[in-house]
Amino acid sequence: MTVCTELRELRRQGPALGQGPQSGVLWCGHERQWERLCELLDRAAGSGGGGILLVEGPPGAGRSRLLADVAQAASARGLSVARGAADEVRSAVPLAPLAAALGADLDASADGTASVSRLIGHLRSHVEERLRRAPTAVVIDDLQWADPATLAALVMLVARFAQRPLVWVLARRIEAGSRTEDRLFRQLRLAAGADLVRLGPLPDPAVRQIATEVLGAVPAPELIALADGADGNPAALIALIEGLAEDGAVHISDGTARFAPHAEQGRPPRRFGRLVRERLDMVGPHTRLLLDVAAVLGPSCAPDDLSHMLADPVASVLPALQEALDSRILVCEGDNVAFRHELVRLALLSTIPAPLRCALHRQAADMILGRDGGLLSAATHLVHGARSGDGRAVDVLGRAAAEIVASEPGPAAELALRALEIAGPAEPAPDAVTDTAVEALTRAGPLPRAVALATEALARPVSPDRSTFLRHWLSTGLLLSGRSGEAVAAAEQVIDGSAAPAWPHDEALANRVFGQLARDGAAAARAADPATGTDLAAEAGGDSEWPPGRLAALAELRWSAGRTGEALNLAREAVKRADSGAPAPWHLPPRLTLATLLCRLREADEAGAVTDALTEEAPASGSWALRGASMILASRAALARGRPQEATELATAGLTAAEQAGVPLHVPLGLTVLAEAALWRGEILAADEQAGRLRDAAREYEGEAARMGRVRADWITAQVAAARADHDGVRAALGDVRRDPGALSRLLVDEPTAAVWLIRAARPAGIPELADETAGLIAVLAADNPGVSALLVTAAHARGVHEADAGALRWAVDEHPDAWSRASAAEDLGTLRGDVDREEAVAALDRAMAGYARVDAGRDAARVRRKLRERGVRRRHWTHAERPDFGWASLTVTERSVAALVAQGLTNRQVATQMFLSPHTVGFHLRQIFRKLGIRSRVDLARMDADGTDGTGGQGGK
C-alpha cells in the first residue's frame, strides 16, 4: 500500500523526476535539501562534479523510503546507483557496507595479510571503474552500525573523488530526540559542505495526507486526534492507521473515514502495540521493566511509586528513568513523570501478558490502599486486577462507585459492575453495590442493563425504602428507554408508596407526566398533579411555586395542543427557575425541553445557544445518558444555522451515543437531520436510507412517539420521491399522513417548515386538496400564536407559495430564522409569475443560489442555476478543493452524487433530471469517476459499496 499520493506518483512517473520535491510528505520541510540534491544529481549527470547529502532520523521516520526516492531520481538522470547498508550483524566486518554497495569482493583481493589501506585502495578502483562507465550515486544506509574502517574509507573516498561526477547519500539512525552528531557527519559537513536532512516528526498536513492515502478516504477529526499518538513518525502512523482498519475500527462513508460505531475510540490496534514493543528493544531491560510498570500505574505517576513497585530505592531506578526520559517516551510533569502520548501507554499496556498485568494492578492497589486516601485510584486498579471472590476488592469498588455515581456515572457503573462480577454466587455483593450499579447505569447507560438489574433486584424480598429507591430508578430507566407505559406503572408505585413529597416522589410525578405525554396528552394532563386534581391543560401559566420539571411538562402539553407561544414561555421560565437553584429532575432538564421546542421552530440563534449550554450541562449534572439527545438537538441547531457538515457529524455522533446508552430520545430527529443534509447535498440514496431507518426506529416506540416516527418517515420518503421526480411516489408516501386524522396537524406542530414543502409538492403529485389543508392548518397555527415570529414567517411563506403572494414571499426572504428557509423563500419569489418582474426574479434567484451555496446545499443550488439558465442568465459554479488524485476520496461532491445514482442503475438522462444537469455533463462526470476509481464500466461501479470499497473489502480504484 502506498503512503501518499506523491510517493505513488514518484514510482509511477519514473523518468519524469527532477522537476521538484517528488517524494511527497517525507520531504516536507526539506524542500531546500531536495532542490540541492537535484542540483547535485543534475551536475553529476552533466559530468560537472558531485556532492554529499546526509540523512538522519529515528526508526520509522521514512529514511529508507527517502533513500529509495533518491536512488530512483538518480537512475532517472542516467546515474549508476550503488546502494548498500550497514547492519548490526556484520558490524565487525571491515568495509562490508561499501563493498556490498560497490559490488567489490574483498575476500578475493585479500591474501590474509591485506591491510585496511589496501582494501580501501581496492574499493577506490571499483569507484574509478564505475565512474568511467557513468556518473555515479552511492547510497548507504544505517551507518550507525558501520565499522571504523568503513567510516575512514568514506572520508578518504569522498575527498579523493570530490571533483568527479559522484554523489554520496549517507544515512544513519538516531534515537528520537537525540541531538548528537557523530564524527563522520560532522567532518563531512564542516570539511566537504555536505547538506543534512534531519527527519523529525511530520507536520500536521503530512499526517493528514498519509492517513488519507492509507484509508482511501478523508480522516475525520477524531481519527486525526488519535494519530497524534504516532508522534509524526511515518512507520508508526501507518501501523496505527492500517491497524485500525485491520481491527475493523474504521468505517468509511461518503469519502470520510470515521470510527466504526462499535469501535472503542482511543484503543490502540494490535499492530501498533507490536510496533511499540519492538521499539522498546532499543532501550535497556531495566528501562523496559520501568516502562511496563509505569504503563500499569497510569498516564502519570510519581517516581516514588515506581520505586515502590520495583522494590528498589529511587537512586537505583534513576538510570532507567533517565533513559526513558531521554527516549522521549516519558516526560516530566511537575513532581510526576508521564507518558508523552497516552496511545503509546495503552499500546504498551496491551502487550503485557494478562496474568502479569493483573498482578501488577493488584500490587498497585495494595500500595495505594496502604496510605491515606486514594480509594478511587485503588478501585481503578482493582477493576483490572481483582480475583474472583475477593471480598475486600468488592468493598473498595462499591465504596468508590458510590462516591462518584452522581458526578461520574460512567466510571461508577464500571466499578460497581466489576464488584458484582467478582463477588460470585457464593458470597453475593452487598445490596448497596447493586443499588449503586442501578443508579449509575441509569445515569450513564446502557439502560437495558439498568432496567434488567433493577427488575432482578425487585424480584427478591426488599425493604420498603429500598423498593422505593429501585422502582424510582426503574421508572426513570424505562422512561428514557422509550417504554412509557411501564415507566408510568413504576412511577405510580413510587407515588403510592411514598407519603412525603420528597425527592423520589417529585421525580416520580415528573416521570408519570412525561410518560403519559408520550402516550396520550390528555392523560398526561390528568396525571400531572394528582395531589390536587388540577388539570394542567386548563392552567393559564402554571403556579408560581411549581418546580422546573412540572413547568417543562406543562410546556410540552401546551406544545402538543398547538399553543406554541405559551409552551416557549413556560420552558424559558422552567430554565430560569432551574438556573436559580430550584431542583429539577436530572433526566428531564428544562433546558432539554426548551432546546427541543426551539429546534422544532428552527430558531437558529437561540436554539444554538441553548443546545450549546445543554451539551455542557449534561455531563456536569451526571446525566450522561442524555449526551446523545443533546448532540442530536445540537445537530438540528447546526442545520438551522446552515452548517450541514457539522450537523451531520453531530447527528451521527448523537445517534451512536444514544444507541450505546439505550436512550432513543430524539433519534427520529437525528435521522431527519441526516436525511435533510443528504438531500441538500443531492445524496438521494443516503436520504432514502435514513427514511428506512426512521421507519425501523418508529417500531421501537409506543403511542404518540411511534405515530410521529412513522409520519416523519413518510415525510422524508415523500421528499426523496420528489427529488427523483416521482410524483406517484410522493402521493403514495403521503397517503398515511392524509388518512391518519391529526397526523398532518402534528407534523406541522413539530416541523412547521414542512408546510411550505407540502404545498409546493402537492399539486404536481395530483393532491391539491393536501395543499389547501396544509395552508389552512399552518395559518391557524400562526394565528393562535401571534408572538412566535418563526410561525408567522413560515405561514407567510406558505401563503406566498399557495396564493402566489409576492409580498408575503418578500417578507419571508428577510425574516426566516434559518438560512436554508431564507434561500427557499428567495427561490419561490424568483419563480413567481405575475407580480415579480424579470429583474427582481433574477435578483431573488441569485440570492437563493448564494444562500444555498453558503449552506452547502449543492442540489438546491443546481436547481436554481438551471432556472437562471432558463432566463438566459449563466453563473459559474465550480470550486476547488485539495483532494487525492485517485480513490473514492478524490471524487468531488457532484461526482459522488453521480456515482451513487449510477450505481442504482439510473441512466445518464435520469441522473441529469435529478441533479439538474445536462446528460452531456453527467457523461463527463462519469468518465472522471471511472478514471479516479480505476474502473471501466457502470457494472464495476455498481459492484462497489457506497463507501468506496469493492466487494472484497479492499479500496476501490487505483
Task: Please give the torsion angle defined by the CA atoms of residues 182, 187, 192 and 196, in that order, rounded to the nearest 10 degrees.
Answer: 20
Residue with cell 500500595: 367
Q: What is the pLDDT of residues 783-816, one digit of tens each?
A: 999 989 999 999 999 999 999 999 999 999 999 9
Residue 44 confidence (pLDDT): 85
pLDDT of residue 878 exceeding 60, the answer is no
In this structure, the strands spanning 256-259 and 250-253 are antiparallel
Residue 952 confidence (pLDDT): 30
Residue with cell 511537575: 334
Q: For 5-198, which CATH class?
A: alpha beta
Residue 797 confidence (pLDDT): 95
Across residues 411-423, what is the average pLDDT? Answer: 93
What percent of the chain is modeled with pLDDT above 90?
Answer: 35
CB 596 within 8 A of CB 553: no
Mean pLDDT (the chain) is: 83
Residue with cell 491497524: 243
Across residues 105-128, what is the average pLDDT? Answer: 74
DSSP class per residue in 279-341: HGGGS-HHHHHHHHHHHHH-SEE-HHHHHHHHTS-HHHHHHHHHHHHHTTSEEEETTEEEES-
Smallest CA-to-CA distance from 501 within 557, 436, 550 is with 550
CA angle 689, 690, 691 (to 5 degrees): 90
CB 480 within 8 A of CB 449: no
Q: What is the pLDDT of residues 167-189, one digit of tens each?
A: 999 988 886 444 444 778 888 88
Q: What is the pLDDT of residues 612-648, one digit of tens each?
A: 888 887 777 777 889 999 999 999 999 998 899 899 9
Cell of 190: 564542516
All residues at 6 or more sequence positions from 364 whose CB lies less than 8 Å from its CB, including other chains: 296, 297, 305, 309, 378, 381, 385
Q: How confident is the model at residue 17 (pLDDT cuts 50, 70, 90)?
A: very low
Smallest CA-to-CA distance from 820 within 788, 843, 789, 797 is with 797
Chain-centroid distance, C-alpha 625: 19
125 strand-pairing partners: none
Q: How confident is the model at residue 10 (pLDDT cuts 50, 70, 90)?
A: very low
Which range, of 20-24, 301-305, 334-338, 747-751, averages the lowest pLDDT? 20-24
888-943: in CATH 1.10.10.10: yes
Which range, of 421-425, 491-495, 520-524, averages the lowest pLDDT? 520-524
All residues at 6 or more sequence positions from 907 whose CB lies less than 8 Å from its CB, including other chains: none
pLDDT of residue 229 exceeding 50, the answer is yes
Smallest CA-to-CA distance from 481 within 511, 521, 524, 525 is with 511
Using H for helix, E for strand and C for coil, what is the string for 150-202? HHHHHHHHHHHCCCCCEEEEEEEECCCCCCCCCHHHHHHHHHHCCEEEECCCC
Domain ranges in the chain are 5-198, 204-267, 445-532, 888-943
* CA distances from residue 332 to 328, 558, 912 in whole angstroms, order as listed: 10, 58, 62
All residues at 6 or more sequence positions from 117 whose CB lies less than 8 Å from its CB, including other chains: none
More confident residue, 429 or 950: 429
Across residues 437-444, what is the average pLDDT? Answer: 95
Separation between Cα atoms, residue 760 and residue 782, nearest integer Å? 19
**Burial category of 115 from C-beta neighbours within 10 Å (exposed 0-12, middle 13-18, buried 19 and up):** exposed
H or E element at residue 412: helix 409-423
Give the other-Cβ count within 10 Å of 540's Cβ. 5
746 strand-pairing partners: none
> What backbone phi and psi angles, to 5 degrees, belong to 580?
-85, 0
529 strand-pairing partners: 534
Residue with cell 391529526: 742
Q: How confident is the model at residue 436 (pLDDT cuts 50, 70, 90)?
A: very high
Residue type, 788: V
CB 670 within 8 A of CB 655: yes
Separation between Cα atoms, residue 889 and residue 896, nearest integer Å? 9
> What backbone phi and psi angles, to 5 degrees, belong to 707?
-65, -45
Smallest CA-to-CA distance from 432 within 459, 400, 398 is with 398
Q: What is the pLDDT of residues 571-587, one digit of tens each?
A: 999 999 999 988 888 88
Separation between Cα atoms, residue 508 and residue 494, nearest integer Å? 6
Using H for helix, E for strand and C for coil, what is the string for 64-95? HHHHHHHHHHHHHCCCEEEEEECCCCCCCCCC
Task: Please give the torsion angle defined by the CA atoms of residues 702, 704, 705 and 707, in that order, rounded to the nearest 10 degrees.
Answer: 90
pLDDT of residue 21 exceeding 50, the answer is no
Residue 22 confidence (pLDDT): 33
Q: What is the pLDDT of residues 478-515, one digit of tens each?
A: 999 988 889 999 999 988 875 544 567 778 888 888 88
CB 562 within 8 A of CB 744: no
CB 10 within 8 A of CB 22: yes
Residue 955 confidence (pLDDT): 34
Residue 560 confidence (pLDDT): 80
Composition of the chain by helix, strand, coil, percent to 5: 65, 5, 30
CB 103 within 8 A of CB 82: yes
Residue 913 confidence (pLDDT): 73
In 3-state terms, what secondary structure has residue 205? Answer: helix
